């Protein structure tokens, strides 16, 4: 087999540097490292560090040294460190205008068996049939996924409500009418959720029905298990329920009878209409 021959490698010669014009500093354009996301079409930008080269000063012809502007303020929140909030040009007002409604959280609280989930679904249906965008956050449903790692101990109940409050806040910010139905037995936890939503966007609905009625219903059979000691820490039996003191809406029995699901839903819907939540 004949041997292969290769051409010798090329030798590259570095070309001499081009001379820098003497008046470069005087006419240099002001530049920015990060500006692509600014202006009308981008998101945020205010939290990003920008490196700018200033204009030349005086007549000396020398450029000003680079300066740092708009350095981000990093935050430590809880166990999260060095985090930054980014704003986008499309916010809640724009989303509400698009949907023709105001984002808010309707927080339905009460004993097990008081009808929270029933009212939540009835209200969602009434609003949906009128063309409004809603979403229901049901306590049991959320424990199938988001909160499946939490028990019913006091500290886990608090974390359960905190998580749901934060999720509900996002729905409200999206312009959605978010309907949360949870026992949420502790007043401080409900108040913490209220504090997440300023400007009266948190609407508390208290299902003020007597324990005897709820226990007689016992749709899940939980009261019976609690009374026989098979489950512990059950609200209304061996764990307290702290009734709200400042609810926007209170649903009670009328003439010894519980209102129908539609009647209770309409009570909430009338409140929304009266207070302007069903318009942008």
Q: What are 163-173's pLDDT values in tens digits?
A: 999 999 999 99
Q: How confident is the model at residue 177 (pLDDT cuts 50, 70, 90)?
A: very high
Which range (48-62, 140-154, 175-189) has the least confidence?
A: 48-62
Arithmetic mean of pLDDT, 265-271: 98
Token look-up 């927080």 returns: 107
Residues above pLDDT 70, as percent of the chain: 75
pLDDT band at 136 (very low <50, low <70, confident <90, very high): very high
Distance CA(184)–CA(247), nearest Å, equals 13
- Note the pLDDT tens digit of each residue in 18-64: 444 444 444 444 333 333 344 444 444 444 434 344 444 444 455 66
| pLDDT tens profile 183-193 | 999 999 999 99
Q: Of 59, 184, 247, 260, which residue is the catalytic one?
A: 184
Q: Is 184 a catalytic residue?
A: yes
Which residues, 6+ apart, have CB-to-CB distance to 209 below 8 Å? 110, 111, 114, 115, 251, 252, 253, 258
Q: What is the pLDDT of residue 68?
A: 58
CA distance 53 to 20: 17
Nearest C-alpha neighbor of 177 from the set 159, 150, 197, 153: 197
Give the residue from 51, 47, 49 showing the smallest Cα distance to 32: 51
What pLDDT is attached to residue 9? 52
**Which tokens belong to 93?**
């007002």
The predicted pLDDT at position 18 comes to: 45
Q: Distance of CA 73 to CAs 32, 45, 52, 87, Å?
A: 19, 13, 18, 14
102 vs 39, more confident? 102
pTM: 0.75
């Amino acid at each position: 087999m004949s041997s292969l021959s290769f051409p010798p490698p090329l030798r590259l010669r570095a070309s001499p540097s081009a001379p820098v014009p003497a008046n470069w500093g005087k006419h240099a354009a002001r530049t920015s490292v990060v500006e692509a996301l600014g202006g009308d079409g981008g998101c945020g930008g205010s939290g990003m560090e920008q490196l700018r080269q200033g204009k030349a000063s005086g007549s000396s012809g020398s450029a000003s040294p680079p300066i740092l502007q708009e350095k981000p303020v990093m935050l430590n929140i809880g166990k999260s460190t060095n985090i930054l909030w980014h704003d986008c040009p499309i916010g809640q007002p724009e989303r509400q205008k698009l949907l023709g409604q105001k984002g808010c959280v309707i927080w339905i609280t009460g004993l097990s068996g008081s009808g929270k989930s029933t009212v939540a679904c009835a209200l969602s249906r009434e609003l949906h049939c009128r063309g409004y965008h809603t979403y229901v956050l049901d306590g049991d449903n959320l424990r199938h996924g988001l909160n499946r790692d939490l028990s019913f101990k006091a500290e886990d109940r608090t974390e359960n409500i905190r998580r749901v409050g934060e999720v509900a806040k996002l729905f409200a910010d999206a312009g959605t009418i978010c309907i949360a139905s949870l026992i949420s037995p502790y007043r401080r936890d409900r108040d913490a959720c209220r504090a997440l939503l300023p400007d009266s966007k948190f609407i508390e609905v208290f299902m003020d029905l007597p324990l005897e009625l709820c226990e007689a219903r016992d749709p899940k059979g939980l009261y019976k298990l609690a009374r026989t000691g098979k489950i512990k820490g059950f609200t209304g039996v061996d764990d307290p329920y702290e009734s709200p003191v400042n609810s926007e809406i209170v649903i009670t029995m009328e003439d010894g009878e519980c209102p129908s699901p539609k009647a209770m839903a309409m009570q909430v819907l009338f409140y929304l209409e009266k207070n302007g939540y069903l318009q942008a």
